[in-house]
Every structure is written in C-alpha cells, then in structure tokens.
Amino acid sequence: MELPSLSAIGAQAVSGLTTAMLLFLVASGLSLIFGVLRLLNFAHGSFYMLGAYFAWQFNTWLQGSFWLSVLFAAIATGVLGALLERVLFRKFYDRPELMQLLFTYSIVLIVSDVVKYIWGTQQLGIRRPEMLSHSFKFGEIVLPSYNLVIIVISLAIAVGIWLLLQGTRLGKMVRAAAFDREMLSMLGVDVRMLYLLVFSAGCFLAGLAGALVAPMSAVVPGMDADIIISLFIIVVIGGLGSFWGTFLGSIIYGMVFSFGILFIPQFSLFAVALIMVVILIVKPEGLLGRENTR
C-alpha cells in the first residue's frame, strides 16, 4: 500500500476536525439533556433537521440574509423545543428508559412526516454566504473558510457552555440538578423551570448545527435518522451526560472516521463502531462518564 504523504495526513486531520466539531454541536445538546433531565432523547436528530429546514425557510423569507437566518432558525428550534417540553417531554422524565425511547422515537416519526408535509420531499439548498465561499491553503491542505467558521463557532460554544456551567449561579444549579434534583428542589429552586431551560438550550444547539450544515449539504428528509446513530456513538464513547466526555467523543469519532477512510476506505464506519463496542465492554459509562448512580 502506498503511504499517504504528510500533507495528506494534515488535510485528513482538518477534515476530521470539521466533522467532529459539527457533531459536537448537536451531541452536546443531547448529552446536556441526558445529564440533567435523565431523558434519553432519540428525537434530538429531529430538532437538528428542523434547524436546517427553519434556516432554509428564513433564508427564503429574508432573501439570503444568511447569518440572521441561522440565528432565527436556532431560536425557533429552541422555542419549539420549549413548547414540546411543556406539553409532552416532561411527562416522561421519570419513566423507564424503554418508555422514553419508544416515546421519543414516535416523535421522530411524527416530525419527519410533518416536515415532508410542510416542505415536501424535494431537496432544498442554501448557498453559503459569498464572503465565505473561498478557501485557505496551507501547502496542500485546503480549508474552506466556511468549515473554519464552523470549527471556530463550535469551539466558542464549547468554551462558553463550560464557563456558564462552572462560573455562574445558573450553571451551578444545572450541575446540582444533574447530581441530586430532589435536594435542589427542597432548597427552593424551581426545578421545572430549570428543566425547561436546559431542554430548550439543547434544542437550540441542535437547531444551530442543522442551520449551519445546510449550506454544506442538502436539506432533505432523512437528515434526522442519519445523524442520530453518530450522536449515540459519540456519547457512548465519551460518556452520556459528561460535557467534556462528549467533546472528546466527538473528536475521537471525527478523527477515527476520517483516518479510517484514508487507510481502509472499505470500512469507513467499521472503526468507529468497533471503538463503541470496545468501550461498551471495557468502560460502559464512557471515557469520562461517571458510574450510573441511579
């Protein structure tokens, strides 16, 4: 076998990082919701898909004002998430995981049919903003500026969430809720409100990722199911509910996927799935997850 050059390896690492950061945006919301609400949300991919469709819709209404469309799409997804939390999701917080899985899977099916009903089955596309359609070149490594923006936004959000969790009163309450919510509610904190906030924030992140991915790929029915498997692999590797675990899981997924393609193209998904299997056997709580205390 011909060994790839150093610059090819560099290019592959950059590709892996783009994949990883985009997935992290979506997975962080899934992990946050599980960590605090103990809800296994199979429908998280649906909010990601809705984010992409909302972005297309706003982009059409606003006639190409891209960044505003992305922002509105993320907000709309967050608001929709909050509404659904109030009406449906909160009824399932203390149910067994199997019930949660069945319920959230039904939501997946319902959302996908609603999306087809509203936007049809045709592929929709958004053009990336003109100022971001060029790319940077470092030797032979090509980094499209749009991918760079995605990497930067995701890193900024990672740091932002971490600061929020560590440094603010709200963050402390969120962490406390993940730890012992009964104690927290006895201390007079409105746990229901906190849950609403966390769920909505998770949906906002999924919607943001969906909106950001729209100019790179096509907006189509089926985006939801395609991403959810990747998300579950990531949170299993990193540790469901662990913030940095999810970050680590995303990096591992992106890199293993990317270099798997470079070295053994026949098995692009094989390597990531294998890692998941090994983790499930050796360290079922994930690399940075804590032992399940329930």
Provide the binding-site residues for other proteins, judged by CB under 8 A: 2, 4-5, 7-9, 11-12, 14-16, 18-19, 22, 116, 121-123, 125, 127-128, 133, 135, 142, 144, 146-147, 213, 215-218, 220-223, 226-227, 257-258, 261-262, 265-266, 268-269
Q: Rounded to the nearest whole angstrom, what is the least distance from the CB of residue 190 to other proteins in the complex? A: 39
Strands 135-138 and 141-144: antiparallel
Q: Rounded to the nearest whole angstrom, what is the least distance from the CB of residue 84 to other proteins in the complex? A: 24
- Please say whether the beta carbons of 288 and 242 come within 8 A: yes
Q: Which is nearer to other proteins, 8 or 277 (CB)?
A: 8
Q: Which is nearer to other proteins, 74 or 219 (CB)?
A: 219
Q: Rounded to the nearest whole angstrom, what is the least distance from the CB of residue 16 to other proteins in the complex? A: 6
Q: Rounded to the nearest whole angstrom, what is the least distance from the CB of residue 262 to other proteins in the complex? A: 4
Q: Strand, helix or coil at 264?
A: coil
Q: Rounded to the nearest whole angstrom, what is the least distance from the CB of residue 171 to other proteins in the complex? A: 31
Q: Which is nearer to other proteins, 91 or 134 (CB)?
A: 134
In the chain the first and final C-alpha atoms are separated, in Å, by 50
Phi, psi of 18 (to 5 degrees): -60, -50
Q: Which is nearer to other proteins, 57 or 147 (CB)?
A: 147
Q: Which is nearer to other proteins, 97 or 226 (CB)?
A: 226
State the Cα–Cα distance between residues 223 and 114, nearest whole angstrom.
Answer: 14
State the Cα–Cα distance between residues 180 and 188, nearest whole angstrom.
Answer: 13
Q: How buried is residue 124: exposed, middle or buried, by Cβ count under 10 Å (0-12/13-18/19+)?
A: middle
Q: Which is nearer to other proteins, 135 or 166 (CB)?
A: 135
Alpha helices in 168-215 (DSSP H): 169-179, 181-186, 191-213
Please state at what angle helix 145-167 crosses helix 169-179, rounded to 10 degrees: 80
Q: Which is nearer to other proteins, 213 or 288 (CB)?
A: 213
Q: Rounded to the nearest whole angstrom, what is the least distance from the CB of residue 261 to other proteins in the complex? A: 5
| CA–CA distances in Å: residue 57 to residues 47, 51, 189 | 15, 10, 38
Q: Rounded to the nearest whole angstrom, what is the least distance from the CB of residue 88 to other proteins in the complex? A: 26
State the Cα–Cα distance between residues 4 and 127, nearest whole angstrom.
Answer: 33
